[in-house]
Structure 1
Amino acid sequence: MQPSIVEMIYTQKQDIISDWLSEINNVMPSGLAKKIPNEASDETNKKFVELIIESLELTEEAATEKLNEFAQHLIYLGWPLSYFTQGMQAFRRVLLETMSSMESISSKKVFETFYEIETWVDSIINQIADEYSGSWESTIHLQRMALKELSAPLIPVFEKVSVMPLVGTIDTERAKLIMENVLDGIIEHRSQVVLIDITGVPVVDTMVAHHLIQTAEAIRLVGAECILVGIRPEIAQTIVNLGIDLSKFRTKSSLRRGVETGLELTQRKIIKIENDDERIDSR
């Protein structure tokens, strides 16, 4: 940027900051203004405009680093991208108004420097937008990793008996992962009985039931038997009201009952010994 423009900005620094703070308060997103106390908002606004002006003295690399650090902090606190874009647009308006009002700058000079200011402000907007984009991509990646973790692997609890606990909402993508994990687990653990525990699934609608039926059918095709456990009363009522047919595979109200049934299907049962401890008896 031309030294004359930088000098003008620093000469009028206090007026520019004052005018920008008034502008940014007018364009602050209403939802954000309600969530953030006035003192915190004013302090952040002042830091933002001072950082913008100070970046003129820094190298491009140092300015980028400082702006990214500031943006990352506000992203973490939940500030929207619109705060930065509208704030930078307001800053551009203030600069041009300040420059236009100075008698020492000719109209021709204003026109010549307009492009430089536009380029500078747009570069900052693009930089912050890129930072937000990177943050969103990182968040999406972490969510996908969490999704895979929630799609728990098949857990062998006894010989030939395995459990897959499900937690959270089941959508099409997650249902695909569940089926892949359960089929791979059956082969790996040589499971004959698979318990699918839906205690942690908040809602079982037609789509979720369809995915469960598909999974149960796939389990049957690889030579194992599926038992659906953890059906709460409200889930049972929903299944009945929706007319969903789960008669193709066994259902049990709790994981314990499911384990007992699984042991019976593999010719074993839980018995009590004299000291009241329980053990597995194989016949």
Structure 2
Amino acid sequence: MSFGSVFIAMEESMSDQLIDQALVEIPGYRKLPLTKQQLAQRVLITVHAFGMDLDEEEPHFYRTHLEEGAYQRAMQGLPIDDFEQLVLLWHRRGIEMLMAKFEHPAEHVALLRQTLKVIQSGLAGLYRGYDRARIGQLDRQQAILSELALPIIPVYKHILAVPLIGVIDSSRAQQMIERLLDEITTLKAQMVILDLTGVPLIDTGVAHHLLKTVHSARLLGARVIIVGIRGEIAQTMVHLGIDLSEITTRANLQAGVEYALACTGFAIRPL
């Protein structure tokens, strides 16, 4: 008989024993909104994947299963500790039960060699699954932060306002161009107001990206107005030789909105 077939023959009784032990030794499993039968079913699937790999030259069933399980748990905000403890618990218990089925020392050696190979493969999958989820969550958080750091506000029909706040480096400036061009296309914007009131400084690289934004928006049929240029930034631009003669500027956001409305045939009037 193969190691895998012997192991799989024991999987149901092993799953029940493991759940009983896990509910005692791992507090996190007592808090899960699952019945004991549901937990046992999940463990049974895991044990079965392990048994299949015991007969594989290159284990992969168990690794894939643990990776997906770890990924799903991490995406649900569940800690790695409880899952890791359960896996290690049943590794120990499973090896003990399997070793008892074979008596010859040579079989013990071969069994240990194969089980260690499967365990190493499975643990690699488990940690890879958590890493995948963590990286995915970081990417989503970064995307959210990028949107918060660069709000694009529809002011009125076909008019967008982009208040820039904080230091703008080349990376953030490139993100601004990409997001803004997407919004111009989606909302069919005709006027874009770039508000620099909250920008403490501008260097040559950022100024280049601002000019690039203006020209790119123009190619999409939108006109850019730059507002809120403070005195020190104006001096820096002059010192750097940045030519804004072809770009419409206004003193502040209010003036920029009034100009944009006038250009699109609207105006703000008292009631």
Q: TM-score, normalised by structure 1?
A: 0.54
Q: Is the counterpart of residue 53 in structure 1 residue 68 in structure 2?
A: no
Q: Runs of 5+ in structure 1 lacking a partner?
A: 196-214, 228-257, 265-269, 277-283
- Which of 26, 29, 47 is 1:28 aligned to? 26
Give 1:157 deviation, angstroms: 6.1
- Which residue in 1 is equivalent to 2:225? 191
Which residue of structure 2 lines up, in the alignment, with residue 4 of structure 1? 2
Between the aligned partners of 1:221 and 1:26, the Cα distance in structure 2 is 68
Partners of 2:13 and 2:112 lie apart in 1 by: 19
In 2, the alpha carbon distance for the partners of 1:185 and 1:89 equals 56
1:164 match: secondary structure? strand
The equivalent residue for 1:147 is 145
One-letter amino acid of the counterpart of residue 16, structure 1? M
Give the letter for the 2:97 counterpart: T
Structure 1 residue 218: Cα displacement: 4.2
Give the residue type in structure 2 aligned to 1:91.
W
Partners of 2:62 and 2:122 within 8 A in 1: no
Determine if contact 2:3/2:111 at 8 Å carries over to the other structure.
Answer: yes
Q: Which residue in 2 is equivalent to 1:114?
A: 112
The one of 11, 14, 39 equivalent to 1:13 is: 11
* Distance in 2 of aligned mates of 1:173 and 1:115: 56
Question: Whole-Å Cα distance in 2 between the matches of residues 144 and 216 of structure 1?
Answer: 33
Report the CA distance between 1:107 and its aligned residue: 5.5
Matched residue, 2:131: 133
Post-superposition offset of 1:5: 2.0
| CA displacement at 1:120 relative to structure 2 | 0.9
**1:74 paired residue number:** 73
Measured on the aligned residues, the alpha-carbon RMSD in Å equals 4.6
Conserved 8 A contact 1:20-1:91 = yes
CA displacement 1:61-99 (0-9 Å, x = unmatched): 666555554444433333332233222211111112223
Whole-Å separation in 1 of the counterparts to 2:67 and 2:120 = 15
Show the 5 A alignment for 1:255-270. 259=254
User: Which amino acid is the alignment partner of residue 172 of structure 2?
Assistant: L
For residues 177-209 of structure 1, give each alpha carbon's deviation from its aligned partner in whole angstroms, at most 9, with x where no partner exists: 3798465447725534239xxxxxxxxxxxxxx
One-letter amino acid of the structure 2 residue matched with residue 221 of structure 1: T
Aligned length: 212
Report percent identity of matched pairs.
Answer: 14
For 1:219 and 1:22, the matched residues in 2 are separated by 72
Distance 1:150 1:22 in 2: 48
Report Cα offsets for 1:131-173 as digits up to 9, x if no partner: 2212222222232233323332677969xx984347xxx8989
Rounded Cα–Cα distance in structure 2 between residues aligned with 1:62 and 1:14: 18
The separation in 2 between residues aligned to 1:179 and 1:194, in whole angstroms, is 21
- Give the letter aligned to residue 22 of structure 1: D
Match of 2:33 among 30, 37, 42: 37
Deviations 1:31-64, CA, capped at 9 Å, x for gaps: x643x2242x751453133333245347756665
SS in 2 for 1:191: strand
CA deviation map 1:88-125 (0-9, x unaligned) = 211111112223545x5245643442232122122111
CA contact 2:67–2:129 (8 Å) conserved in 1: yes
Q: In 2 relative to 1, CA 99–219 (structure 1 residues): closer, same or farther, beyond 3 Å?
A: farther
1:130-279 matches, within 5 Å, as: 130-152=128-150, 163-165=161-163, 177=172, 181=176, 184-185=209-210, 188=214, 191-194=225-228, 218=233, 221-222=236-237, 259=254, 272=269, 276=271
Per the alignment, residue 83 of structure 1 pairs with 82
Q: Which runs of 5+ in 2 are unaligned?
A: 177-193, 195-206, 215-222, 238-243, 260-266
1-structure distance, mates of 2:18, 2:166 = 46
For residues 218 and 52 of structure 1, the distance between their equivalents in structure 2, rounded to whole angstroms, comes to 66
